Structure 1
């Protein structure tokens, strides 16, 4: 089951970056985030109510759901939606891969969890692979303030996502239902985005293309309801560090789609990068003995 959840997260979230790009210029970042999670919250809440699966939460639990809504279903996505104006979606997914490191750090800070001996070499392989794949894009991107702003927004959004992961761990330690906490979190996140939109006097119903509406529907149902449910269940089953390693595979999905639809040209760096990422996955999940032996020699 873990493998199935892992692949589901990779496939769904690996394609959401393209959907976010498809909305650029159609919705403002605040309105785009509002509608994405408002639709997701209504659909998920309705399903849970009709099936009798919506669980009651304490006031403290609701507070944490509100915080999770801000971190995962609100401000972090405003950062990502805004960054599309400055950097491409592929580079966004590269920066989002930093969630692996942020989760390891935050796990240590909030839960005193030791970092696995397999995590460091796996993360290094993954990050080296990501850099190799996008090295050409990185060195040809003009280093101007807009690019730096886009990178900073993605880093901030990724750290917010990581904080939301920590709240999810807290929920599951309290044995709370993942679907219910997600539903409330999305509701609170969308509500807060709606308040911001009103204060900014933004248009809730702008004229948009059919493509943008399809992208919105995909992001709400697959990217939000299904994707987040699978990801947070995965956190409960294998831990935030291993679950976040899936973010290193997102760019591979984007590259595969780009190969078919945008005639992406594979190069030596991309091949090396894919090999490094696959090696990192192998180290993290198979935990070969030679990694421990190598670490022992170095120590």
Structure 2
């Protein structure tokens, strides 16, 4: 869609007013509700993953059940909203890459990481996605990041190092904490690589909900293929904690939070919506403190502050 401009190249007043309204207007009650839903859903999802990992069902099969449910709901969403569902084979190849990176490999690394770390620390590592997205995008696209973004990246990684330093120092570089950290970093890199694919899809004009639905389907099939390859049985735990965590992850954390975040993007803009990544690790760590006995140290407090500050610098540095 073209934008009509004034002779000096500035947007017409109506366009400028619309941008100001989106970026700078005060929050309305609906915005607070959408923000709260997104933060709560993503904060609690990490503990729900811990419940899945300890259920006796393999990580690959856990992902099959989770995204099979989410896929059906996403296709229903796309269908009822009149979204496009038929695409050429070349687009399906892009959807398959998206699904393998974001809706399978990303989660699989974190599910394995949950066997080594408390859930709150998983969320802190994942919160570096905003930093890695900027750096990876700059590397692939060739755009030189602004000094604020580079500073944010350094501060964010320094915060992660501080949070994990005590346990790594105590257990050595071969300790379980380091293994969990590396797994989560691989999961975050997979997610960020998938984001590049998603951005490319959106630039081609492909609808986000429909492409996500197809991506989830291919991610589910990839997880099923891995489970078959590894000889993992397709079993289902019938405990209340397993079923409850599965429903929460598939329906609330994946589909409802996804819908809330997309709506929030349209209402308040990407810069302010991005601060969700600053907030949810704090709540995730509070959940870990209450339910998993996570012990706060001075290193952890300073490290979390640095991670949050790094995210803020990256998000503000990426504003347009």
Relative to the length of structure 2, the TM-score reads 0.74
Aligned to 1:122: 152
* Residue 20, structure 1, aligned to residue 57, structure 2: no
Aligned to 1:106: 136
Aligned to 1:222: 252
Structure 1 residues 61-70 or 13-22, which shifts more? Answer: 13-22
Counterpart pick for 2:180 among 150, 154, 164: 150
**Contact 1:10–1:250 (CA under 8 A) maintained in structure 2:** yes
Say which one has the larger Rg.
2
Aligned to 1:40: 70
**C-alpha RMSD of matched pairs (Å):** 3.3
* Residue 254, structure 1, aligned to residue 284, structure 2: yes
**Contact 1:34–1:190 (CA under 8 A) maintained in structure 2:** yes
Aligned length: 284
Aligned to 1:57: 87
Task: Write the distance in 2 (CA, Å) between the matches of 1:167 and 1:151.
Answer: 25
Task: Write the distance in 1 (CA, Å) between the matches of 2:197 and 2:53.
Answer: 30
Aligned to 1:195: 225
- The 1:160–1:235 alpha-carbon spacing in structure 2 relative to 1, beyond 3 Å, is farther
**Contact 2:64–2:220 (CA under 8 A) maintained in structure 1:** yes
**Contact 1:23–1:215 (CA under 8 A) maintained in structure 2:** yes
1:133 positional shift: 4.5
Gaps of 5+ in 1: 288-299
Structure 1 residues 67-76 or 143-152, which shifts more? Answer: 143-152
1:264 positional shift: 5.1
**Contact 1:122–1:279 (CA under 8 A) maintained in structure 2:** yes
Relative to the length of structure 1, the TM-score reads 0.79
* Superimposed CA distance per residue, residues 129-155 of structure 1 (whole angstroms, 9 cap, x where no aligned partner): 444455444444554365444333222
- The 1:86–1:22 alpha-carbon spacing in structure 2 relative to 1, beyond 3 Å, is same
Aligned to 1:290: none
Aligned to 1:296: none
* Residue 71, structure 1, aligned to residue 101, structure 2: yes
- The 1:225–1:140 alpha-carbon spacing in structure 2 relative to 1, beyond 3 Å, is farther
**Contact 1:55–1:177 (CA under 8 A) maintained in structure 2:** no
Task: Write the distance in 2 (CA, Å) between the matches of 1:260 and 1:201.
Answer: 36
